[in-house]
Amino acid sequence: MSDVLILAIESSCDETAAAVVKNGREVLSNVISSQIDLHTLYGGVVPEIASRKHTEQINQVIEEALKEANVTLNDITAIAVTYGPGLVGALLVGVSAAKAISFARKIPLVGVHHIEGHISANFIENKELEPPFVCLVVSGGHSHLVKVMDYGKYEILGRTRDDAAGEAFDKVARAIGLGYPGGPKIDRVSKEGNPDAIKFPRAKVEGSVYDFSFSGLKSAVLNYLNSCEMKGETIVQADVAASFQKAVVDVLVEHSMQAVSEAGMKKFAIAGGVASNSALRAALSKACEENGIEFFHPSPILCTDNAAMIGCAGYYEYLAGNISNYDLNAVPALKLGER
């Protein structure tokens, strides 16, 4: 069989990204144009600004990805594009550009689910990894515990009932004066703090063992900050950060290990922006080792939003014959496993 080259495009949030991926798992290029500096001014991603920036950057990013991979559109087998979930205005830029290129060059189009992309990031650096396995997807917009039964076949075991894990990091970071983006900043500051200094709650969701809830934890942190202020006590930023982080990590690890064990699986992976959190990685790595589970994780560049992961997921969708039509639309609340 000849090589399958996927040109992948991702614009679901605040990174404009394009990549060329060969045979699903070999990344020939992975170009990411981040808008983070723009959004930092506003303390979070502003959808309209993100959409405008995507429109400005989209061609340069795609051209750069082709050039870096040393290929032209003539070499491309299929175009994969994220069509949800995400910010609708942002998604539409990538989807529209992808459809136009697909139409103009008669290259098959494959719509890809953003979370499926994150999960697939694990295939890129772990050539031996094959489904089935359990994957924890944690990012600024998502917190999912997913059973990956086969390529493109998923069962969602648990999800967040309120804030995504990354969202909680952002909100707490803002409250303790660290600013945006919260994840990396809390991770860094926590290294100087005592994770057992403050007892924050580990929330359980009644009736669904694998679901998450982080808004209660966030409120607990805010209440703690308020009460310190009232009592005139000094707030030790690093201790608050470390204790909050530990509370998040504990819940993620506990749910994950329970899910892997009950699913009777021996493989576990993490994905998404929060998967680069060093405390989470360390804790999961330790827990997996103790339970005799093989632990997989992408390197930080593939945890953040990128198009290489979309190319990988798109490759398996392409092989499965899931070709999209020119009326492919952005679906901001797209569910995993739905097309």
Partner 1 sequence: MKLMAIDSSGLTASVAILEDNKMVADYSVNYKKTHSQTLVPMLDEITKMTETDLKTIDAIAISKGPGSFTGLRIGSSTAKGLGLALNIPIVEVATTDALAYNLYGTERIVCPIMDARREQVYTGLYEFVKCGQSLEMNTLLESVAIGVEDIMNQINELGKPVVFLGDAVSVYKDKLEELVKVDYILAPAHMSHQRAASVAAIGARKLANGQSIPASEHVPEYLRLSQAERERNEAMNGK
Which residue number, 89 or 183, has a Cβ lying nearer to partner 1?
89
DSSP calls for 11-42: -SSSEEEEEEEETTTEEEEEEEEE-HHHHHTT
**Smallest distance from partner 1 to CB 3, Å:** 21
Q: Which residues are CB-contacts of 275 (< 8 A; sequence separation ≥ 6)?
A: 136, 137, 138, 139, 281, 297, 298, 303
**Does residue 339 sit in helix, strand or coil?**
coil
Minimum distance, C-beta of residue 38 to partner 1, in the bound complex (Å): 10
Q: For residues 232 and 226, what is the distance between their CA atoms, to the nearest angstrom?
A: 10
Q: How far is the CB of 323 from partner 1 (least distance, A)?
A: 14
CA atoms within 13 A on the CB side of 237: 12
Return the structure tokens found at 129. 């990894």
By the criterion CB under 8 A, which residues form the site for partner 1? 41-42, 46, 48-49, 51-52, 54-56, 58-60, 62-63, 73, 88-89, 92-101, 103-105, 325-330
The span from the CA of 207 to the CA of 66, in Å, is 49
* Cβ proximity to partner 1, 90 vs 198, nearer residue: 90
Nearer to partner 1, 91 or 257 (CB): 91
CB of 331 to partner 1, least distance (A): 10
Smallest gap from residue 329 Cβ to partner 1 (A): 5
> How far is the CA of 193 from the CAs of 183, 201, 211, 237, 281, in angstroms?
15, 18, 28, 8, 18
Nearer of residues 83 and 200 to partner 1, judged by Cβ: 83
Between 54 and 185, CB nearer to partner 1: 54
Q: How far is the CB of 218 from partner 1 (least distance, A)?
A: 23
Report residue 237: phi and psi, to 5°: -50, -45
Name the residue nearer to partner 1 (CB basis): 84 or 273.
84
Interior/surface letters 209-233, b for 16+ CB within 10 angstroms, e for the rest: ebbbbbbbbbebbeebbeeeeeeee
Nearer to partner 1, 95 or 176 (CB): 95
How near is the Cβ of 76 to partner 1 at its closest, in Å?
10
Distance of alpha carbon 323 from alpha carbon 110, whole angstroms: 5
* Paired tokens of 7: 């040109």
